[in-house]
Structure 1
């Protein structure tokens, strides 16, 4: 029960508080990872695998230690789980970024919107106009709803604090070194593949929840099954296709990331996103998050035994 209450409390804290402005644990992990990268970097998969194993393994062990130290103290375990959940979630901050982008686009401040897009994704925005910025925002909200909300909650429901912490470590490393750029094609390979693995089920759960909360499950399932394979990511594809079906939009296209471009196919049947669709997407993401914490709480309730005890 303490895991369930902790997940719910941590989710509520994220909704009310968002990410801490200073001394964010995930930012601290990222700084540590960056320092380690500067020492360990080599253009090889072996070096990248050792880097990923060291950082993720250490983080997971911290989570295991926390579980063992608090397993017989339900109140403390609830609070620790809540703190870990709040630290790893990014749903409220994602919504705030969507609101900021919507405001900039609605006021036609395109230069500021181009600059702000970097808070959501690594896409090259220098030549993007309003509707392309809207598409980038919608797609980023969709993908990050899975990565920053659904996946950590579900891993927390299954594995408790170790699941929460290890998932966020994996996802953070993927964001740092998992790009298909010349520098990280080899060094970031292990982080990218591990991130793909741990998101396989959560991404598809996110797609299902998107269909359920939108009351358009038939459209979501049709677009997901038909169009997701066009996307180069095995996990972003189902999520973005699900959002396209739920919103009645067409997503995808060719995106530039500075040093390389990526063709994401066409996902959906409707019109391409406009500025007005950014706020609609944020509302959908919020509903998916609420459904996800409910699913995670149920997973924690039915989990048998204490895997870290």
Structure 2
């Protein structure tokens, strides 16, 4: 195997592994990283940005260093590099597990079991599910699938293509820290600032790739590319996140539903603007969202493998 093909092949193998197997049910490396991050937070926490910068730099830098060490092992052995890239890709992706959670919520809604649906949606969103009716749970699920398709699938694939195993592990570390401390509440407003900003930077390009793929795939779910593109241009800036707004508006336009609005996070109300031009999503729209997410995921895997192959050829020359 040529060295230029090792990274591209590893990315595709890791993507297929995630689609077939999902996350490991026990001993997941990301869960172990989260445990380490909690322990370090207890030691470093201060209500100050410098403490948060040190926290983020230590953990993300450590993940990148681990990935770089793995790349050294496969420097002259393309098959080893391919297998390491595949294992790292499978470890950091979350596409299949995301789809399974959405499917479980859709099943609960189809059975008119709102309490079960509210309980399951806690696995996807940080907003208060107790105030959500069936349509509210459906909206939360659609928004989460859209955003996490970018964060947990497109972004790691793209960073893996550009930077190999260090990119895969470093990105996943940064994204995990954002989910843990990147909140604008009293405890994390200062300490979590660095983690949140780093995640914004790392997701800027991937979010736009995810949005573009959603536009291209809109006809697969009965949508219109023009409406999806229009939603990005006109409505994405209203979202408080520079990246989630792009992806959620693209999905909303492609699905023909209206997302966004007022959400409650720990008693704090946040207005995320109006995204899309149709009616609010119904429970049946969750399955359509999963189909769109699967198409975007496949497109991202092929795109990333292509980028990795091109980078490999350029380096050989």
TM-score category of the 2 structures, normalised to the smaller one = over 0.9
Residue from 273, 281, 294 that aligns with 1:286: 294
Alignment of 1:57-96 (within 5 A): 57-96=61-100
Q: 2:57 aligns with which of 25, 35, 53?
A: 53
Residue matched to 2:121: 117
Residue 164 of structure 1 is matched in structure 2 by 168
Select the residue among 188, 195, 201 that pairs with 1:197: 201
- Give every structure 1 segment of 4 or more consecutive aligned residues whose post-TM-superposition deviation is greater than 2 Å: 304-307
CA contact (8 A) 1:90 1:148 kept: yes
Residue 255 of structure 1 deviates from its aligned partner by 0.4
Q: Deviations over 1:239-265 (max 9, x none)?
A: 000000100111000100114221100
**1:244 matched residue in structure 2:** 252
Moved more, 179-188 or 256-265: 256-265
* Structure 2: runs of 5 or more not aligned: none
Q: Following the alignment from structure 1 to structure 2, what is the Cα–Cα distance between the partners of residues 217 and 207?
A: 11
Residue 127 in structure 1 maps to residue 125 in structure 2: no
TM-score (normalised: structure 1): 0.98
The corresponding residue for 2:179 is 175
Q: CA deviation at 1:305?
A: 7.2
Deviations 1:172-230 (A, max 9, x none): 00000001111100000000000000000000000000111223322111100100000
Asked if the contact 1:181–1:259 (Cα under 8 Å) also holds between the matched residues in 2, the reply is no
For the 8 Å contact 1:9–1:82, the answer to whether it is kept is yes
Residue among 107, 113, 120 paired with 2:111: 107
User: Could you say what the CA RMSD is over the residues aligned between the two structures, in angstroms?
Assistant: 1.1
CA–CA separation in structure 2 for the residues paired with 1:90 and 1:125: 22
| Counterpart Cα distance in 2 of 1:256 and 1:68 | 46
CA separation in 2, counterparts of 1:146 and 1:38? 30
Give the length in aligned residue pairs.
Answer: 307
Query: Is contact 2:11-2:157 (8 Å) kept?
Result: yes
Deviation for aligned residue 1:306: 8.8
| SS of equivalent to 2:112 | coil
Please list every run of 5 or more consecutive structure 1 residues that lacks an aligned counterpart in the other structure. Answer: none
Of 246, 258, 271 in structure 2, the residue corresponding to residue 263 of structure 1 is: 271
Distance in 2, matches of 1:161 and 1:116, equals 32
- Asked if residue 274 in structure 1 is aligned to residue 275 in structure 2, the reply is no
> Retained in 1: the 8 A contact 2:129–2:137?
yes
Q: Which stretch of the first structure deviates more once superposed, 257-266 or 194-203? A: 257-266
TM-score, normalising length: structure 2: 0.95
